[in-house]
């Protein structure tokens, strides 16, 4: 019988916030265990001078932590769900999905100016191809600037630069206590969130029955169903977090509505649609919506995206 449970996480402030949140929940529920947090540096943390899309790979912020889990160096791993590939190592399983925070993206701007009032040719910083694509679809005149780093460094870069705006996830900003910096929470009609945005995943070894039982206590069922649909859509599209794909699942009673989008890198083409059905069949809903998007031109758009990324 174990007495100590080791939680693995990245070392950024936001990642540590998430790991500490999980730690606090589990300590309250299971006081008989001693919980500790161990930080693990990932490839995405080490390479900060190259846009994520050019590094390649689908596990930039999770691989090293998952390897530590496989090798019994930690007992559970806490990840931002949007960073977790749709195919995780066979030895591992998602034991819990946390309740979702605000899924929208936040605009940080000079003088709290809303996106609709930005001048022609305004420069906006973002590290996401999804945001870049959808912002350019909304306003082709925008000049997009790539930005990397943790939230602290991104705010510092913004304050030192002359960009008109910067777009980040609302959830991360609020968790860090910087909500007053948000100028506008961007409508989902303009920017759909990344798959899984707003939740984090707690992963354990598939054969660890005790840990699966422990984690079930912090799983949020509506968030689990919604994000399973989103991840099934992404899996069918064979995309990763560095592809211009957005998705948002909403569960109401026994119904699950999933909205998804695929965009070109320059934002000129975007296909967007939704599909809904029985909340108990999230994978079917995700797969069906993916097929609809592909048939509406998404397949051609993705082929062009993948071709450009390979070149």
Give me the residue label for tokens 């989103």. 230
The model's pLDDT over 239-253, given as tens digits with 9 standing for 90+, comes to 665 689 999 999 999
Annotated catalytic residue, options 45, 66, 83, 105: 83
Return the structure tokens found at 198: 């707003």
Give me the residue label for tokens 């990324």. 309
Alpha helices in the chain (DSSP H): 13-29, 43-46, 52-55, 63-70, 129-138, 151-160, 170-175, 209-216, 221-237, 282-293, 299-310
**Cα separation of 9 and 22, whole Å?**
11
* CB neighbour list of residue 164: distance below 8 Å, 6 or more residues apart: 109, 110, 113, 118, 119, 122, 123, 124
* CB neighbour list of residue 109: distance below 8 Å, 6 or more residues apart: 115, 118, 164, 165, 166, 183, 184
The DSSP secondary structure of 214-272, one letter per residue, reads HHHTT--HHHHHHHHHHHHHHHHHT--TTSSEEEEEEEETTEEEEEEEEE-TTSS-EEE
Query: Which residue, 66, 87, 97, is CA-closest to 204?
Result: 66
Give me the residue label for tokens 């409508």. 187
Q: CB atoms < 10 A from the CB of 299, how many?
A: 15
Kindly list the averaged pLDDT for each block of 10 residues, start to end, along the chain of length 311: 91 93 98 96 59 54 90 96 93 98 98 96 96 98 93 94 97 95 98 97 98 98 98 88 89 98 96 98 98 97 86 67
- Which CATH class for the 1-99+199-219 domain? alpha beta
Is the distance from CB of 22 to CB of 30 less than 8 angstroms? no
Which secondary structure element, helix H or strand E, spans residue 123, and what is its range? Answer: strand 123-126
What pLDDT, on a 0 to 100 scale, did the predictor assign at position 32? 96
105-185 is classed CATH 2.60.120.620: no
**Cα separation of 142 and 278, whole Å?**
40
Active site residue 83: yes
Q: Which CATH number fits domain 220-311: 3.30.1360.120, 3.30.160.40, 3.40.50.970, 3.90.660.10?
A: 3.30.160.40
**Residues 238, 270, 55, 155, Cα dihedral to 10°:** -130
* CB neighbour list of residue 139: distance below 8 Å, 6 or more residues apart: 115, 118
Boundaries of every domain in the chain: 1-99+199-219, 105-185, 220-311
Question: The whole model's pTM is what?
Answer: 0.92
**Cα separation of 205 and 202, whole Å?**
11
Query: Which residue, 285, 291, 281, is CA-closest to 258?
Result: 285
Give me the residue label for tokens 């960009």. 163
Q: Do domains 105-185 and 220-311 have the same CATH topology?
A: no
Strand partners, 257: 250, 276
Report angle CA 253, 258, 259 to the nearest 5 degrees: 140
What pLDDT, on a 0 to 100 scale, did the predictor assign at position 55? 45
What pLDDT, on a 0 to 100 scale, did the predictor assign at position 2? 84
């Amino acid at each position: 019988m174990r007495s100590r449970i080791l939680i693995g996480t990245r070392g950024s402030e936001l990642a540590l916030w998430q790991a500490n949140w999980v730690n606090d929940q589990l300590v309250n529920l299971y006081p008989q265990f001693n919980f500790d947090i161990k930080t693990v540096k990932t490839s995405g943390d080490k390479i900060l001078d190259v846009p994520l899309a050019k590094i390649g790979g689908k596990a930039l912020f999770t691989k090293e932590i998952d390897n530590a889990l496989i090798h019994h160096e930690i007992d559970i791993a806490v990840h931002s769900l949007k960073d977790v590939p749709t195919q995780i190592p066979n030895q591992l399983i998602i034991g819990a999905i946390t309740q979702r925070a605000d899924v929208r993206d936040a605009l940080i701007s000079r003088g709290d100016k809303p996106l609709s009032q930005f001048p022609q040719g305004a420069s906006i910083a973002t590290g996401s191809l999804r945001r870049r694509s959808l912002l350019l679809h909304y306003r082709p005149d925008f000049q997009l600037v790539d930005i990397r780093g943790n939230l602290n460094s991104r705010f510092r870069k913004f304050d030192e630069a002359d960009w008109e705006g910067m777009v980040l996830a609302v959830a991360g900003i609020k968790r860090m206590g910087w909500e007053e910096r948000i100028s506008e929470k961007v409508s989902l009609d303009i920017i759909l969130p990344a798959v899984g945005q707003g939740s984090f995943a707690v992963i354990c070894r598939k054969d660890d029955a005790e840990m699966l039982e422990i984690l079930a206590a912090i799983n949020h069922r509506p968030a689990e169903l919604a994000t399973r649909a989103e991840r099934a859509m992404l899996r069918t599209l064979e995309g990763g977090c560095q592809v211009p794909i957005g998705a948002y699942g909403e569960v109401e009673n026994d119904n699950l509505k999933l909205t998804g989008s695929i965009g070109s890198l320059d934002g000129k083409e975007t296909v967007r649609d939704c599909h809904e059905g029985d909340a108990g069949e999230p994978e079917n809903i995700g797969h069906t919506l993916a097929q609809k998007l592909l048939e509406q031109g998404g397949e051609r758009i993705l082929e062009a995206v993948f071709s450009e990324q390979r070149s």
